[in-house]
Amino acid sequence: MTDTSPNAPIPSAIPPVVLDHPLVRHKLTRLRQASTSTAGFRRLTRELSLLMCYEATRDLAVEPIEIETPLERMEGWALSGKKLCFVSVLRAGNGILDGMLDLVPAARVGHVGLYRDPNTLEAVEYYLKFPEDVAERDCIVVDPMLATGHSAAAAIDRVKAAGVTNIVFVCLLASPEGVAHMNERHPDVKIVTCAIDRELDDHGYIRPGLGDAGDRLFGTK
């Protein structure tokens, strides 16, 4: 039974996983450049999503199966247990979602539509849609930026309210403030990111960052 008393100890948060791979560092540097075109930004985001998906799915359960190769029978491995659901935080999360579906095409997809109030920086919901059996699935929530952490935490609130118990959050960039907020709100959720940048500015943007990921993905600014 979970101790919910006022003096209950705060559970320790799962440390964030920062991908320190040469390909990740190279592609992220190109992604950050102001001179990168919309098409280039989309391509690089998709390529990075493949690498992030590799890490985010590291703990998926597998089971042995017998298969026939062209030469003989052997024991191989197949995914087992709960199936996956990717949850995209609209709109920019779709830039990561596409690449992840390339690796796990059978995964179901959910969407959470949130925008950040420019005055309070709090997340406001405008859309929510999950698969009917989402509670029976492991979920990977994707959003390019973990800035203040309010939108990410709010999205995970919705996923947990749907009954999901195993959640990973994947983003291109995070701020120390965003990681701290997520660790406080959802210490049981692992964060997978390509980098944790220096800080947030007065407008809640990650510095040095890469700008507005949604605008750069969709060419809207």
The active-site residue out of 98, 116, 157, 188 is: 116
Q: Is 197 annotated as ligand-binding?
A: no
The active-site residue out of 2, 73, 120, 202 is: 120
Q: Is 121 annotated as ligand-binding?
A: no
The active-site residue out of 98, 157, 188, 215 is: 215
Q: Is 106 annotated as ligand-binding?
A: no
Q: Is 147 annotated as ligand-binding?
A: yes
Cis peptide before 42 (omega within 30 of 0): no
Note if 116 is an active site residue: yes
Give the containing element (helix H, strand E) for 176.
Answer: helix 176-185
Q: Is 212 annotated as ligand-binding?
A: yes
Q: Is 21 annotated as ligand-binding?
A: no
Q: Is 219 annotated as ligand-binding?
A: no
Note if 212 is an active site residue: yes
For 86-120, give one letter per residue: b (16+ CB within 10 A) or e: bbbbbbbbbbbbebbeeebeebbbbbbbbebeeee
- Could you list the active site residues? 116, 120, 212, 215
User: Which residues make up each annotated binding site for 5-phospho-alpha-D-ribose 1-diphosphate?
Assistant: 91, 116, 143-151, 212
User: Which residues make up each annotated binding site?
Assistant: 91, 116, 143-151, 206, 211-213
User: Which residues make up each annotated binding site for uracil?
Assistant: 206, 211-213
